[in-house]
Amino acid sequence: MTDGLITVFGGTGFLGRAIVRELLEAGHGVRIAARTPRWPDNVADGDPLSLVSADIRDEASVTQALVGASGAVNAVSLYVESRRLTFDTIHVEGAERVARLAREASITRLVHISGIGVDEQSSSRYVSARARGEAAVLSAFPKATLLRPSVLFGPGDAFLSTLEKLTRLPAIPLFGHGETRLQPVHVKDVARAVEKVMGPRPPAWRLFELGGENVMRYRDILSLVMAHLRREHPLVPVPWPVWRVLTTLLSPLPSPPLTHDQLVLMAQDNIVNPQVGTFTDLGIIPHSLRESLPGCLVVD
């Protein structure tokens, strides 16, 4: 179906880079679209790869990025908003723009990357914008495929590298009692899912939730990371109201280490709903976090 070119918006990001690699390995032509596009590290001579400058806030550059493409992926992110750049601008208006212009460009297959836990009613502006973004995408491009991953891990990720830093502390603060359940998923598995969706047959589901092999409590993930790094420090429960005060105090910073939106995400389980499409429907067996740790975090 998408034998031709696939434009990957956000193709220089953590997930975007893995998607680009997976699509190239499957024989697709790929165009990386980002505000500052860069060649991937592992590009090989003859890879059918090109770069284009595109900002999903700008109609003309998105149109240009889609010229001649038969597939498109939106893997653009914004995790912390500012007065100048809001979640709505990227996750609702930008997402709608990519979907609408993809449809106008007669793109056959559009994959929109979202996240588990989206909820229009959420007190988190991020979580709510993601839900409205999904609706806007489906309204503009009804046959789009939505992929909602759980938290991503892999070499050079933000998740395990943050936990690694935390495990250097003499005592490791938990969100509440650390009971929130997560289903960390290898970035490569999500990239493989994108490639499968771009395959010859249309996917069986419009919506997929993608989680790793195991559902784990946050505290158990920390213990696993500590065991791998051969560190041993106590896990200390910290009540949620204390975190809420902390995120309020940190909020004036230009780049706060923890935001209200991240706290809301950490307060709810982030696990796959088996009522929608999953890795099983795509024939993918996800990597295990435990077995992947040596490839992700170097032991001192």
Ligand X SMILES: NC(=O)c1ccc[n+]([C@@H]2O[C@H](COP(=O)([O-])OP(=O)(O)OC[C@H]3O[C@@H](n4cnc5c(N)ncnc54)[C@H](OP(=O)(O)O)[C@@H]3O)[C@@H](O)[C@H]2O)c1
CB closest to ligand X, residue no: 13
Count residues binding ligand X (CB under 6 A).
Answer: 24
Backbone angles phi, psi at 83, to 5 degrees: -65, -35
Minimum Å gap between C-beta 97 and ligand X is 10
Other C-beta atoms lying within 10 Å of the C-beta of residue 271: 18
Cα angle, residue 148 at apex, residues 146 and 151 outer, rounded to 5°: 160
Identify the sign of the CA torsion 167, 170, 173, 178: positive
Distance between CA 244 and CA 182 in Å, rounded?
A: 20
Touching ligand X, residues 105-124 (CB under 6 A): 113, 115
Is 190 or 235 the residue whose CB approaches ligand X more closely? 190
14 near ligand X, judged by CB under 6 A: yes
In whole angstroms, the minimum distance from the beta carbon of 26 to ligand X comes to 19
Binding mask 32-51 for ligand X (x = CB under 6 A): --xxx---------------
Provide CB contacts within 8 A for 275, sequence distance 6+.
Answer: none
Q: Residue 77, interface with ligand X (CB under 6 A)?
A: yes
Tell me if 9 sits within 8 A of 72, measured CB to CB: yes
Contact with ligand X (CB under 6 A): which of 10, 71, 203, 211? 10
Interaction between residue 152 and ligand X (CB under 6 A)? yes
Q: In the complex, what is the shortest distance from the CB of residue 171 to ligand X, in angstroms, rounded to a whole number?
A: 26
- Beta strands (DSSP E) in the chain are 5-9, 29-34, 49-53, 69-74, 109-113, 145-149, 152-153, 172-175, 181-182, 185-186, 207-210, 216-217, 235-238
Nearest residue (CB) to ligand X, 40 versus 149: 149
76 is a contact residue toward ligand X (CB under 6 A): yes
| Binding residue (CB under 6 A) for ligand X from 6, 16, 49, 92 | 16
Binding site for ligand X (CB under 6 A): 9-10, 12-16, 34-36, 54-57, 75-77, 90, 113, 115, 149, 151-152, 159
